[in-house]
């Protein structure tokens, strides 16, 4: 009996082990011990039994976790030691996001496939256990985690921080709370939403940071917090502020004044078509527009917003598409600094569409602000067909039609659902097909 001395210390009878609800299978839940000794013992046993599953590839993220210091960041966020279960559950959330898995956990099962061992756990926690972890922390603690991770990524060169985009994402919510409802258009029924505000680096396509807000919070109220978090991550020089691109929802004098006066950023937003700037653009004389290429001209004029507290005026960038006066189409943008309007309207703002942060822009390569679902035909014999010209809504449906960028047409979707093949009644010229393929190859993808 000498070899069994102090065997009572392995599992003392008086001590109550910490237990946690786990998702054992698709339909079965089980209470399992979650104390540090039990976790270590069961993880070692599973590793000794070997792993064979289709989710072992998640282990390839281990070198990246070591570069970023993910374990130290999650340990600081949970405020617990690495032997406990809480940092491992936080790593479980990170790996779920890496696999693009969403929805309720009781509707899927990731156990017995090698996924749980990559988190240092012998089990997959249930939704109630995850909610217990998230309920114990605040949004300020999550923002501090984003700030620390963002500074590490900036030092590692993951994003240059030269061109940014901000965009609100509204996700449909099934909460029972009484809250403000929103709708996508006038024809849709209003529904409850949960709001996320993202900041994206357009040069690299990498997310910079994001914030959460209730449905009652507007873009004007949520954007200053998002930009302040971005400023702390990037730490830009005062005279070299990044350019921030946004949609027309951010066109507000209060927000523009805040960005110009209290942040090092420069903001570029499209002016709403129903506002006075549309009349202002069409009232500009033709001499103010500088032709850039066939079917495209730009003009830059000082513009002062009503109720603005900024002493100096902003700048209105106006682009005119079309070669003939009857085909002119105007689109105006407001910038908080004097910049090169050609570079911003033809290079920077179309990058926003390619990254699919905001609504899809025209496939012609300009910041036209129109949705690509209403594609117009391009005719080779028309002036401006090589450049990014646009045609009015009454353009005849002849010639080669550009499909929406990144997706098939509605007729193609219907044919795919029915299982039939579409006929090709018209043979395209090889040069047209080559031009279409070159445009698709030149478009960056996410």
> In terms of residue numbers, what domain contains 355?
267-411
Q: How many domains does the chain have?
A: 2
Question: Does some domain include residue 312?
Answer: yes
- Tens of pLDDT along 223-261? 999 999 999 999 988 778 899 999 888 998 999 999 999
Question: Does some domain include residue 238?
Answer: no
Residue ending a domain, choose from 98, 122, 137: 137
- Tens of pLDDT along 155-181? 999 988 889 999 888 888 888 888 888
> pTM for this structure?
0.71
Tracing tokens 């500088």 back to the chain, one arrives at 290
Nearest of 91, 79, 84, 86 to residue 37 by alpha carbon: 84
Question: Does some domain include residue 191?
Answer: no
Torsion on CA atoms 25, 29, 30, 36, rounded to nearest 10: 80
Distance between CA atoms of residues 41 and 307, nearest Å: 67
Question: Does some domain include residue 371?
Answer: yes
Ranges 1-15, 112-126, 237-251: which has the least confidence: 1-15
Cα of 23 vs its chain's centroid, Å: 30
Nearest of 317, 232, 218, 208 to residue 267 by alpha carbon: 317
Cα of 377 vs its chain's centroid, Å: 30
273 dihedral zone (left: phi>0; alpha: psi -120 to 50; beta) = alpha
Distance between CA atoms of residues 361 and 34, nearest Å: 51
- Tens of pLDDT along 281-325? 566 788 888 899 888 999 998 988 888 888 889 999 999 888 888
Question: Does some domain include residue 152?
Answer: no
Residue ending a domain, choose from 137, 166, 198: 137
Question: Does some domain include residue 64?
Answer: yes
Residue ending a domain, choose from 137, 159, 187: 137
Question: Does some domain include residue 211?
Answer: no
Q: What radius of gyration, in Å, describes the C-alpha atoms of the chain?
A: 28
Question: Does some domain include residue 65?
Answer: yes
- Tens of pLDDT along 98-114? 888 776 666 666 777 78
- What is the DSSP secondary-structure string of 347-360? IIHHHHHHTTSSS-
Nearest of 341, 158, 309 to residue 243 by alpha carbon: 341
């Amino acid at each position: 009996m000498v070899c069994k001395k102090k065997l009572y210390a392995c599992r003392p009878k008086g001590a109550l082990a910490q237990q946690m609800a786990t998702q054992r299978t698709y339909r079965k839940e089980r209470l399992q011990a979650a104390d540090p000794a039990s976790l270590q013992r069961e993880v070692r046993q599973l590793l000794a039994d070997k792993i064979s599953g289709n989710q072992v590839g998640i282990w390839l993220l281990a070198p990246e976790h070591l570069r970023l210091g993910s374990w130290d960041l999650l340990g600081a966020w949970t405020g617990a030691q690495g032997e406990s279960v809480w940092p491992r559950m936080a790593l479980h959330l990170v790996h779920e996001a890496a696999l693009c898995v969403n929805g309720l956990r009781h509707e899927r099962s990731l156990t017995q496939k090698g996924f749980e061992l990559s988190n240092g756990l012998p089990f997959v926690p249930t939704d109630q256990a995850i909610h217990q972890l998230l309920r114990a922390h605040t949004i300020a603690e999550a923002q501090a985690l984003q700030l620390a991770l963002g500074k590490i990524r900036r030092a590692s060169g993951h994003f240059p921080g030269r061109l940014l985009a901000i965009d609100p994402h509204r996700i449909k919510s099934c909460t029972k709370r009484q809250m403000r409802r929103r709708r996508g258009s006038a024809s849709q029924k209003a529904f409850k939403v949960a709001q996320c505000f993202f900041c994206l680096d357009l040069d690299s396509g990498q997310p910079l940071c994001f914030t959460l807000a209730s449905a009652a919070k507007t873009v004007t109220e949520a954007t200053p917090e998002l930009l302040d978090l971005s400023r702390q991550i990037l730490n830009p020089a005062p005279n070299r502020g990044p350019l921030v691109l946004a949609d027309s929802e951010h066109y507000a004098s209060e927000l523009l004044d805040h960005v110009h006066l209290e942040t090092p950023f420069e903001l570029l937003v499209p002016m709403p078509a129903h506002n006075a700037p549309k009349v202002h653009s069409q009232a500009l004389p033709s001499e103010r527009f500088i032709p850039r290429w066939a079917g495209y001209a730009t003009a830059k004029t000082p513009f002062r917003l009503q109720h603005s507290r900024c002493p100096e005026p902003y700048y209105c960038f106006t682009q005119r598409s079309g070669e003939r006066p009857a085909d002119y189409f105007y689109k105006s943008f407001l910038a908080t600094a004097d910049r090169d309007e050609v570079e911003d309207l033809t290079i920077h703002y179309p990058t926003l569409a390619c990254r699919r942060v905001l609504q899809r822009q025209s496939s012609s390569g300009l910041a036209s602000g129109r949705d690509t679902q209403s594609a117009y035909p391009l005719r080779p014999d028309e002036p401006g067909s090589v450049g990014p010209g646009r045609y009015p809504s009454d353009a005849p449906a002849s010639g080669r039609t550009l499909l929406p960028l990144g997706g098939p047409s509605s007729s193609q979707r219907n044919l795919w659902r029915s299982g039939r093949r579409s006929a090709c009644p018209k043979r395209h010229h090889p040069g047209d097909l080559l031009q279409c393929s070159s445009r698709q190859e030149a478009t960056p993808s996410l």
